[in-house]
């Protein structure tokens, strides 16, 4: 009985530590900067000159990485999702 409790506590500690340290690796999108150094300088110059300021002028446009292969993958994923959802609904109705 005592060994089982030790194994469970060690397992809980390992899971906790792995989740705790994985938090440091998954903050890519949180630390993403929206303004570049050039955009900040341009913003400051426009402030000094009294120009009208809109956020569209300073935030860089995101690149579009879509292509035929990614579109096919998205469509295939949606199709597989529909099939799995329908089959699981049918299975649940059958089990009821």
Round to whole Å and give the CA distance between 81 and 87: 10
- Supply 64's token pair: 């579009």
pLDDT surpasses 80 at 62: no
pLDDT surpasses 70 at 92: yes
Residue of 63 and 31 predicted with greater confidence:
63
Round to whole Å and give the CA distance between 96 and 94: 5
pLDDT band, residue 83 (cuts 50/70/90): very high
What are the residue ranges spanned by the domains of the chain? 1-31, 35-62, 65-96
For residue 34, give the nearest of 65, 66, 64, 57 by alpha carbon: 57
């Amino acid at each position: 009985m005592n060994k089982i409790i030790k194994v469970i506590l060690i397992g809980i500690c390992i899971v906790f530590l792995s989740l705790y340290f994985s938090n440091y690796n998954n903050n890519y999108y949180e630390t993403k900067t929206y303004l570049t150094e050039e955009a900040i300088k341009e913003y400051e110059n426009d402030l000094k000159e009294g120009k009208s300021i809109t956020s569209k002028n300073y935030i860089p446009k995101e690149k579009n990485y879509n292509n035929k292969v990614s579109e096919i993958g998205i469509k295939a994923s949606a199709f597989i999702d529909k099939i799995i959802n329908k089959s699981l609904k049918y299975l649940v109705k059958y089990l009821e």
